[in-house]
Amino acid sequence: MSDKPEVPESLLQLERLRVLSVAYYGASRALTERANDLRRHRRSLEQEIQDLGNYFDGSQPHIMPGERRYTSRGSVDATVKAKTEAARQQVAAIDAMLEIVEKAKRDHDENRGDAAAFQAAQQHMRSTLVAWGFENH
């Protein structure tokens, strides 16, 4: 015979649900933060594209490595176009990554049953913990 008092299975099940709820909300928060980071980066790239669109046409000096004088004159327009294209490619990549994150969020939300069960049982768990003398655990 054990000296340990018996712990109700319902209390243990509630703790399992609590752990699953914490994991659910932690993953949900992480996915939301990732989506927000991607959106912020996308907005900054869109601003960069807009700023690049305001550049003037003209020439820009080029310096060859190791030289201390201008060796040729390149087109600012060509540089701006290259930077704009690179930014647009990054926006496309971010859009693709954002689709993946949004799909993961939808899939994650479909599997929130354990978290919802915990939310529904949370008050019961608190009253059980109080009855067992674990008021704030």
> What pLDDT was estimated at residue 86?
95
Taking the chain (137 residues) in runs of 10, the rounded mean pLDDT of each run is 80 80 88 97 95 69 57 67 94 97 90 69 72 69
CATH number for the domain that contains residue 16: 1.10.287
Residue span of the structural domain in which 40 resides: 9-132
Residue 52 lies in a domain: yes
> What pLDDT was estimated at residue 42?
97
> What pLDDT was estimated at residue 108?
87
Residue 4 lies in a domain: no
Residue 100 lies in a domain: yes
> What pLDDT was estimated at residue 14?
77
> What pLDDT was estimated at residue 103?
95
Residue 18 lies in a domain: yes
Residue 41 lies in a domain: yes
- Looking at the structure of the chain, the number of domains it has is 1
> What pLDDT was estimated at residue 90?
97
Residue 122 lies in a domain: yes
What is the C-alpha to C-alpha distance for residues 88 and 127, in angstroms, rounded to an integer? 56
Q: What is the DSSP string of 55-116?
A: PPP-EEEEE-TT-SSEEEEEEHHHHHHHHHHHHHHHHHHHHHHHHHHHHHHHHHHHT-HHHH
> What pLDDT was estimated at residue 83?
92
Burial of 70 (0-12, 13-18, 19+ CB in 10 A): exposed
Residue 1 lies in a domain: no
Nearest to 84 by CA among 57, 39, 44, 51: 51
Residue 57 lies in a domain: yes
> What pLDDT was estimated at residue 92?
97
> What pLDDT was estimated at residue 24?
85
